Amino acid sequence: MSLLINVNSGILSQIKTKTDNLPADPASQALTASADQATGIETQTDKLAGAAPVTGSATQNWQTAEADVVAIGAAGVSNKVHDLSLNVSNLVGVLIIRLYKNVNGVERKVYEQSFNAATDPPGLPIINGTWATHDVIRVSLQSDNVADNGQAVDYDFMMETM
């Protein structure tokens, strides 16, 4: 009998040693971990709503030289740009819209398209979809008609933090 009790005492000591580090209430510890995970998920899904729409206008001498309409984003900040639209209803000439962004640290023209303000629709979808960027996207416009100088061009876009 005493041999059986000694063996059982050894096993009981081993079990006690292994369970000494367990929390008094393992269920609450699991709930805390789940709450932290839920907060992390919520933080990520909140980004999906995007930021408030950005709207504004720029008034430049569009015919004198290519001029900036808007700069979108910031250096070193990752964003998605959704649906950049321009309103050119105040203009009358043939327009050239250009987009520039840094490629390997050097600003490069990445988009150029001509529109005729007299025949094309006044609302132009310049980014029709999503562009991911980690820097500034610069939007410029140039016209061939002196009557476009001093006229306003409206812009509207959405951004989403990545």
Tell me what pLDDT residue 36 has: 72
Question: 18 and 62: one domain?
Answer: no
Distance CA 158, CA 150 (A): 26
Question: 26 and 75: one domain?
Answer: no
Number of domain units in the chain: 2
Question: 29 and 69: one domain?
Answer: no
Q: How far is CA 113 from CA 93, 99, 104, in A?
A: 14, 9, 23
HEC profile of 5-73: HHHHHHHHHHHHHHHCCCCCCHHHHHHHHHHHHHHHHHHHHHHCCCCCCEEEEEEEECCCCCEEEEEEC
Q: Which domain holds residue 8?
A: 2-47
Segment 94-110 mean pLDDT: 96
Tell me what pLDDT residue 97 has: 98
Tell me what pLDDT residue 139 has: 98
Q: Residue 116 pLDDT more than 70?
A: yes
Question: 140 and 93: one domain?
Answer: yes
Name the residue with tokens 């979809």. Answer: 129
Tell me what pLDDT residue 29 has: 64
Name the residue with tokens 């640290």. Answer: 105
Q: Residue 30 pLDDT more than 70?
A: no
Question: 79 and 37: one domain?
Answer: no
Q: Are 95 and 88 in contact (CB under 8 A)?
A: yes
Tell me what pLDDT residue 49 has: 63
Question: 124 and 69: one domain?
Answer: yes
pLDDT higher at 1 or 162: 162
Q: Are 39 and 136 in contact (CB under 8 A)?
A: no
Give the residues across from 100 on adjacent strands: 109, 138
Distance CA 112, CA 121 (A): 17
3-state DSSP assignment of residue 114: strand
Question: 61 and 133: one domain?
Answer: yes
Tell me what pLDDT residue 138 has: 97
Distance CA 79, CA 132 (A): 6
Distance CA 83, CA 95 (A): 19
